[in-house]
A and B are shown apart, each in its own frame.
Chain A
Amino acid sequence: QVQLQESGPGLVKPSETLSLTCAVSRYSITSGYYWSWIRQPPGRGLEWIGNIYHTGTTYYNPSLKSRVTISVDTSKNQFSLKLKSVTAADTAVFYCARGVTWGTARGSFDYWGQGTLVTVSS
């Protein structure tokens, strides 16, 4: 069973950079899927942030593209999110997830981390 685990600070000050890491276990990050970040503001819906392939190719939500960087560390089997210049509107539960690249499930997210709440506040 694939496992994903988010980690990082739970509190970030306005205008600073939010940094999170997703450690993947029981599956090699280099094997045929893409890896994603998704967020959910308290009491609201899900928002796709971006994807990364093990090759380093990235795709970002246009609404966040100017502030987001997703990177991958294949040696540690993990990938990371940086969101700069945060405001209170960025307060959310951040999930990492595995994206399916083939077949009828293509485009779905089949495994998710438990999520981590990041609060933006001074």
Chain B
Amino acid sequence: QSVLTQPPSVSGAPGQRVTISCTGSSSNIGAGYAVHWYQQLPGTAPKLLIYGDSNRPSGVPDRVSASRSGTSASLAITGLQAEDEADYYCQSYDSSLSGGVFGTGTKVTVL
């Protein structure tokens, strides 16, 4: 029962820029809780891609970036590559759940 809403899919040609939105509410993103992003390649476990709104773990390229504003957040991938084709999920904390909440997920397709 996701309470963070993402577009089901986005696509772009190699080298282009794509963005993924994540819309929450006053009990999660709007309350100031950090937003994190995960990449899930087919058949594998999710991998932490962005933590604390805009920070990249070691090994994540700087063509991946993220930001937040109000009750929303967004992930951007520039210089799109075939290896970026995956599902992407945002995640935050929700005070009404007293726990984590994930976005609905977005499939990125490289044309």
Contact = CB atoms under 8 A, between A and B. Distances in A.
A51 B1 CA distance: 17
Contacts, number: 79
Given A108-B91, A112-B45, A45 B34 contact: no
A114 B46 contact: no
B101 A110 contact: no
Interface of A: 36, 38, 45-48, 50-51, 59-63, 95, 99-100, 103-110, 112-115
Interface of B: 1-2, 33-34, 36, 38, 44-48, 51-53, 55, 57, 89, 91-93, 97-105
B66 to A, nearest CB: 12
22 contacts: A36-B100, A45-B103, A46-B89, A47-B102, A48-B100, A48-B101, A51-B100, A59-B98, A59-B99, A103-B52, A105-B34, A105-B51, A105-B52, A105-B55, A107-B91, A108-B51, A109-B91, A110-B57, A112-B45, A112-B47, A113-B45, A115-B45
